[in-house]
Amino acid sequence: MGFTKSLAIELGPERIRVNAILPGLVAGDRIRRVIEAKAQAKGISFAEQEAELLRAVSLRCYVTPQDITNMALYLCSPFGAAISGQALAVDGDMQSLI
């Protein structure tokens, strides 16, 4: 975040905006492999491990690659013209796992 803020400050006078998109649990093969490995290490089912991870997400769902794309498109559009130096979580309100 420090790098994002520094770049936003440095490049702002040139009307260049800098933001960080922070994805949560993105649906796809990668997260499926992570869940499988964690489940196997704990000796529990995939479904149990998946439920445990999703309990840390207020919306109880994965985000999709399209959700991340939509945020990038918003930031590049006229609607995001005044947004710079921000960390924008696209994560369904993911809380840290204990």
Q: Which helix (H) or strand (E) holds 88?
A: strand 87-90
Quick one: average pLDDT of 4-22?
A: 98
| 12-16, 61-65, 94-98: least confident range | 94-98
pLDDT (0 to 100) of residue 24? 93
pLDDT band at 26 (very low <50, low <70, confident <90, very high): very high
Could you tell me which residues are beta bridge partners of residue 26? 63
> What are 9's two structure tokens?
């400050």
Residue 31 has pLDDT above 70, yes or no: yes
> What are 37's two structure tokens?
């490995």
Tell me the whole-structure pTM to 2 decimals.
0.86
Rounded to 5 degrees, what angle do the CA atoms 69, 34, 20 make? 30
Q: 65 to each of 7, 9, 26, 44, 54, how far by Cα in Å?
A: 25, 29, 7, 28, 17
pLDDT (0 to 100) of residue 25? 96
- Do the Cβ atoms of 60 and 51 come closer than 8 Å? no
Domain ranges of the chain: 1-24+63-93, 27-62
pLDDT band at 98 (very low <50, low <70, confident <90, very high): very low
Which amino acid is present at 8? Answer: A
